[in-house]
Amino acid sequence: MTAKTLVFLILATCSLFTLALGSQTYQGKWKLLKKNIGVSAMHMQLLPNDKIIAFDWKSSGPSNISLPEGKCIVDSETTTDCYSHSVEFDPTSRSIRPLTIKTDTWCSSGALLSNGVLIQSGGYRLGERVIRSFRACASCDWVEHSNGLITPRWYASNQVLPNGKIIVVGGVNQFNYEFIPKTSTSDRTLYQLPFLKETRYSPLIPNNLYPFLHLTPDGNLFIFANDRAILLDYVNNKVVKNYPVMPGGVSRNYPSTGSSVLLPLILSRNFNVNPKAEVFICGGTVPDSNRKANAGDFIPASKSCGRLVITAKNPRWEMEEMPLNRLMGDMILLPTGDVLIINGAAKGSAGWNLGREPVLNPVLYRPDAPFSAKISRFELLSPSQIPRVYHSTAHLLSDGRVLVGGSNPNSNYNFTALYPTELSLEAFYPPYFSSNVPRPLISKINPGTNLKYKQKVSMHFHLDQRQKELGKIYVTMVAPSFTTHSYSMNQMLLVLALDSEAQKVDSSNYVVDVHAPATARLAPSGYYQLFVVHEGVPSKGTWVHIE
């Protein structure tokens, strides 16, 4: 054997070894955080104090957690309800605090205001026009404002706007939108949106509920429903663009539920240049799978995903296939900018008892990876043990884990059904947790955590570097989302423009200068988490506020 062959053999063996090791250790892991939080985490929001607010719905019957003494709700002269349907969960201590919801929040929506107050809107029956607010503090509870909405909102979507308001779009039999909280005449106006009627498959099987909303850097709102999309100038109530129909004959919104994310917005140092905005939508199923599932015929969900540059002059869908069929999957932007697709089922439809073959494996999608007929941007990750079908949720935590909860495919809490009501919370640890690359630790943000638009920000971080070379560094800014029905409202990730490359301060401390986003069109005023990413491994997030 020549020396050359030997070297080649050693190299080949080494790379095989790394590959094998890679496929074994880099698929992430699961951990059960709490077997029973008392309610099913059907709606979830992370607050800037790192607590999670979770709630299900009042008419689902007695939950597994009681309201504190003296807090029972008197529903009528004859009935009193002493069960809680909302909890505050602390992912660090794993403690739970029951909260008081007086009216029904079933299939509702929410968003964080600029000041960090959680605004929840709509629901069912007595709750259908209610707006509820929750301020983060040790003893705070829900405050309800009846008739806060102009019209009932059940299965509507919310998005925080650059002007600080929240737009609430659609809902069952609602072909319109409105703005909350209500302070001006325009907030007290109901705006018609015929697109929501046009995209409805049928009154019984709408396939366009919980429409997907994404802000575009030009100040408009992208709205996707069923298999079509528009760009809405919501101020002037004008459709400024009709996008091509998404190919494949697949419906993407409730009850043919798929999911959608705005891919990372890459900000440039030149503030006059708007970043490219691209939407990525995955999963769903054929339009009448709900009718068929009701008749006992569970149709395989779709594998297809589509990417659309919504800021392009002539946008065109670019289609890809996931390794697994999936509906009711959650799409979560990880701090690295990759997309995690998690939860859901491979057959059937959204709705009680209509999903089959839970998909236990999450899938990672790398938006920047090369793509061809032979190379996939997807990677299959480690499976959970717990089916998460209808009414399941997922949410990014500050430490980079993904909190997973819910699943209640029944009309009440039912622990003997085929897929029982889930009161548990799990954490999924994405592959970067098992990586050998050291994790950066943010030590200081200069001049502080209250950011101004366009401001230069110095991110100081610590890194245990065995090798001398610093790898690729970038800084991401993530908006906390409100998640329900496989859709994370307000989810957004910005890759901040670098002012200069990362510099070494001393043996294990570094600094990288970045620019805060230029305007509220790119990042509405409010709370965000900043992450330093080194060689694909994120730090823990630090909360900042921008205005």
Ligand X SMILES: *[C@@H]1O[C@H](CO)[C@@H](O)[C@H](O)[C@H]1NC(C)=O
Give me the least distance between CB of 67 and ligand X, in Å please: 10
Contact yes or no for 356/409 (Cβ under 8 A): no
**b/e for 26-56, b at 16 or more Cβ within 10 A?**
bbbebeebbeebbbbbbbbbbbbebbbbbbb
Give me the least distance between CB of 103 and ligand X, in Å please: 21
294 binds ligand X (CB under 6 A): no
Joined tokens for residue 282:
């995955």
Give me the least distance between CB of 126 and ligand X, in Å please: 23
**b/e for 169-178, b at 16 or more Cβ within 10 A?**
bbbbebbbbb
# residues near ligand X by CB under 6 A: 8
Cα separation, 46 vs 256, whole angstroms: 26
Say whether 81 sits in a helix, a strand or coil: strand
65 binds ligand X (CB under 6 A): yes
- Of 98 and 110, which CB lies nearer to ligand X in the complex structure? 98
Q: Which of 393, 401, 534, 520 is nearest to 476 (CA)?
A: 534
- Of 96 and 342, which CB lies nearer to ligand X in the complex structure? 96
66 binds ligand X (CB under 6 A): yes
Segment near ligand X (CB under 6 A), from 190-198, 264-272, 413-421, 443-451?
A: 413-421
Cα separation, 378 vs 320, whole angstroms: 10
Segment near ligand X (CB under 6 A), from 135-143, 219-227, 289-297, 410-418?
A: 410-418
Long-range CB pairs of 411-418 (<8 Å, 24+ gap) are 411/60, 411/352, 412/60, 412/61, 413/40, 413/60, 413/61, 413/62, 413/63, 413/64, 417/353, 418/353
**Chain residues 183-212 in contact with ligand X, contact rule CB under 6 A:** none
**Chain residues 5-24 in contact with ligand X, contact rule CB under 6 A:** none
72 binds ligand X (CB under 6 A): no
Residue 15: CB atoms within 10 Å: 11
Query: Burial of 520 by CB count in 10 Å (0-12 exposed, 13-18 middle, 19+ buried)?
Result: buried
Give me the least distance between CB of 424 and ligand X, in Å please: 13
Among 414, 435, 449, 525, binds ligand X (CB under 6 A): 414
Could you tell me the end-to-end alpha-carbon distance of the chain, in angstroms, rounded to an integer? Answer: 67
465 binds ligand X (CB under 6 A): no
* CA–centroid distance for 546 within its chain: 20
Cα separation, 368 vs 377, whole angstroms: 8
Segment near ligand X (CB under 6 A), from 22-30, 60-68, 201-209, 240-248?
A: 60-68
CB-based contacts of 97, cutoff 8 Å, min separation 6? 87, 88
Give me the least distance between CB of 418 and ligand X, in Å please: 6
DSSP letter at 92 equals T
Give me the least distance between CB of 410 and ligand X, in Å please: 6
- Of 268 and 414, which CB lies nearer to ligand X in the complex structure? 414
Give me the least distance between CB of 206 and ligand X, in Å please: 25
417 binds ligand X (CB under 6 A): yes
Kind and range of the H or E run holding 130: none
115 binds ligand X (CB under 6 A): no
**Chain residues 215-274 in contact with ligand X, contact rule CB under 6 A:** none
Among 79, 314, 372, 416, binds ligand X (CB under 6 A): 416
39 binds ligand X (CB under 6 A): no
- Of 64 and 542, which CB lies nearer to ligand X in the complex structure? 64
Say whether 293 sits in a helix, a strand or coil: helix
Contact yes or no for 104/81 (Cβ under 8 A): no
Give me the least distance between CB of 407 and ligand X, in Å please: 14
412 binds ligand X (CB under 6 A): yes
Give me the least distance between CB of 82 and ligand X, in Å please: 9
Range list of β-strands (E), 94-160 = 96-99, 109-112, 118-121, 131-134, 143-145, 157-160
- Of 63 and 336, which CB lies nearer to ligand X in the complex structure? 63
Give me the least distance between CB of 14 and ligand X, in Å please: 53
- Of 65 and 364, which CB lies nearer to ligand X in the complex structure? 65
Give me the least distance between CB of 537 and ligand X, in Å please: 40
Residue 316: CB atoms within 10 Å: 12
- Of 84 and 158, which CB lies nearer to ligand X in the complex structure? 84
Among 64, 189, 449, 458, binds ligand X (CB under 6 A): 64
Segment near ligand X (CB under 6 A), from 134-142, 406-414, 429-437, 479-487?
A: 406-414
Segment near ligand X (CB under 6 A), from 59-67, 161-169, 251-259, 457-465?
A: 59-67
Residue 457: CB atoms within 10 Å: 22
Give me the least distance between CB of 546 and ligand X, in Å please: 41
Residues that bind ligand X (CB under 6 A): 64-66, 410, 412, 414, 416-417
